[in-house]
Amino acid sequence: MKNKILTAASLSESRDGNPAATIGNAARACLPDSQSLLCAVILFTLCFSAPVFAAVRTEVETGNNAMFHYLLYARYFKGGKYLEGLAELEKARALDPESAYLMEEILPVYFDLGNYDKVMETASALLKKAGRNFAAFFYMASVYEIRDNTDKAVDYYLRASALKPDSADIDFSLGRIYMKKELYDKAEIHFVNAVKKDPDNPVMRLTMAVFYEAGKKWDKAVEQYIALAELDRDSVNPLLKIGEIHSRNGKYEEAETVFLKALEKDPDNFSVIAALAGIYEKQRQWEKLRDVLLKIHVVQDDYPEVEMYLGLAYLNLGDKKNAEEYFSRAVGINPENAPVYYSLALIYMDAKEYSKALDALENSEKYGGENTEIYFLKGVCFDSLGNKSITYETFERAIEKDPENHRALNYLSYSWAEAGINLKKARSYVEKALKLSPQNSAYMDTLGWVHYKQGNYNTALKLLRKVASLEDDPTIWEHLGDAYMKLGRKAHALKTYKKALSFGGDKAVLKKKIDAAH
């Protein structure tokens, strides 16, 4: 919502031709100019009720008249002294309690200072006097919205809208309420109307962009960020958001183009450089990743993640010396930081440096890292190094520390199935994992594979056919082919093995199985 004090002047358009609003604004604008101020005083008194007009002539020198206090209020507000200004405005109202103009003027002040009871009291008095009044309806609606009385808020915003149908603020407020009520179609209609009525309003554009992002309407979100970029050509923030949306949706070339454009505006913007590094890491473009991270290094050289990913880039470029240097620097920045060691372990695992990953995990645990996740990753490392007995023990410890660690439950279950051991326990573990994560296709495959290893080929076939319909994973399709073979359905097995091969399965293994299925 816009700041009500700053937008109060806009309410003058709804005051049925009352010249006081225009003159009041002129008075505020011209306060330093004594001659202009005098003119404003003379003109403004014409807009007040007859008693005040008479009082001005008799009491102006004593300072006890509505005009005097109103002008003090305006001067205080111009200097940022809002409480003092409010006190003067209340004095003006006390001297002229029937002035609709002063009621309208004080509403946004009460609202922005959080005095909602006074807003409701004043708005009610204004409606008794005027019958229908935009400012009264609008601020009553705003108070109802803040107090979560959304039905009444909508009612009063609609009343205000009937008096001022071109108000973007009303549509924006209604959009906000409907979004809160999860009536997203209605919210979108009002947000669109608000932006049409006030296309250069950055707050409305940004809200609409975030609204579309939350609804995963990426193209519409990008449209709003493009409009924001046009409104503020010097800002890189809209470009950063556009690039992030492209990156999230796998449009890495488009993301790179936008990020580079943002860096033309602000070459040292850390967030943009980091986002650009992120897409290079996802695409495994190690030279580009190295170069952009070195640029971050110039901007900020005490960021351990930068050092770690520089190490990753060098490691994948075959430069182990520089890789180790940057990994050491990452740890040196904060040698007792458990998350740094944890992240370092993930990088070593990505590079298949499992022994070094284990060392990093040990240090993460030493400095207070999350034990259950650490044990899970240790189990993966031991398994990758071929140390099966320690693998099983480590996963059991992970499950002991967190019985609902479904990743450990599934991994251990699959490992046992592959080895053909502990099949009854393996089945109970993977069934528990599926209860914790019911839509996980990898876990469904594991359950099918356990049944296969137990000799329950029809059950295995049923499960594996279901999961194969969900995933184009070569392992799943290979398992399905194995089930067909055990049931003597070679033609189906042949087609399935070929599918597994097309999805990137092991060529040597699958070629033998295809030959056997002929």
**Using one digit for the tens of pLDDT, what is the confidence trace for 132-187?**
999 999 999 999 999 999 999 999 999 999 999 999 999 999 999 999 999 999 99
Sign of the CA dihedral with 358 first, then 362, 363, and 368 last: positive
Residues 6 or more apart whose CB falls under 8 angstroms from that of 433 comprise 406, 407, 409, 410, 413, 440, 443, 446
Query: What was the pLDDT predicted at 33?
Result: 39
The closest alpha carbon to 130, from 270, 18, 5, 297, belongs to: 18
Query: What was the pLDDT predicted at 298?
Result: 64
Residues 6 or more apart whose CB falls under 8 angstroms from that of 174 comprise 154, 157, 158, 186, 190
Query: What was the pLDDT predicted at 293?
Result: 87
Query: What was the pLDDT predicted at 300?
Result: 59
Cα separation, 100 vs 89, in Å, equals 13
Looking at residues 87-100, what average pLDDT do you find? 93
Instruction: Please check the confidence at residue 54 and state whether its pLDDT lies above 80.
Output: no
pLDDT tens digit string along 248-266? 999 999 999 999 999 999 9
Cα separation, 499 vs 489, in Å, equals 16
Instruction: Please check the confidence at residue 61 and state whether its pLDDT lies above 80.
Output: no
Residue 76, amino acid: Y
Query: What was the pLDDT predicted at 26?
Result: 32
Query: What was the pLDDT predicted at 63?
Result: 55
Instruction: Please check the confidence at residue 1 and state whether its pLDDT lies above 50.
Output: no
Cα separation, 376 vs 372, in Å, equals 6
Query: What was the pLDDT predicted at 301?
Result: 59
Phi-psi region of 193 (alpha: psi -120 to 50; beta: other; left: phi over 0): alpha
Looking at residues 311-332, what average pLDDT do you find? 86
Q: Can you give the pTM of this predicted structure?
A: 0.60
pLDDT tens digit string along 173-213? 999 999 999 999 999 999 999 999 999 999 999 999 999 99
Instruction: Please check the confidence at residue 55 and state whether its pLDDT lies above 50.
Output: no
Hey, what's the torsion of the CAs at 349, 354, 356, 357, to 10 degrees?
A: 50
Query: What was the pLDDT predicted at 136?
Result: 96
Report the percent of the chain where pLDDT is more than 90: 69
Residue 72, amino acid: L
Query: What was the pLDDT predicted at 10?
Result: 34
pLDDT tens digit string along 465-504? 999 998 889 999 999 999 999 999 999 999 999 999 999 9
Lowest model confidence (mean pLDDT) among 40-44, 401-405, 462-466, 471-475: 40-44
Burial (CB < 10 A; 0-12, 13-18, 19+), residue 253, is: exposed
pLDDT category, 428, cuts 50, 70, 90?
Answer: very high
pLDDT category, 329, cuts 50, 70, 90?
Answer: confident
Query: What was the pLDDT predicted at 342?
Result: 87
Average pLDDT over the chain reads: 85
Instruction: Please check the confidence at residue 117 and state whether its pLDDT lies above 60.
Output: yes
Query: What was the pLDDT predicted at 52?
Result: 41
Looking at residues 289-301, what average pLDDT do you find? 77
Centre a 10 Å sphere on the Cβ of residue 491 and count the other Cβ atoms it contains: 10
Query: What was the pLDDT predicted at 409?
Result: 96
Report the percent of the chain where pLDDT is more than 70: 86
Cα separation, 129 vs 310, in Å, equals 71
Instruction: Please check the confidence at residue 86 and state whether its pLDDT lies above 90.
Output: yes
Looking at residues 24-41, what average pLDDT do you find? 37
Query: What was the pLDDT predicted at 142?
Result: 95
pLDDT category, 509, cuts 50, 70, 90?
Answer: very high
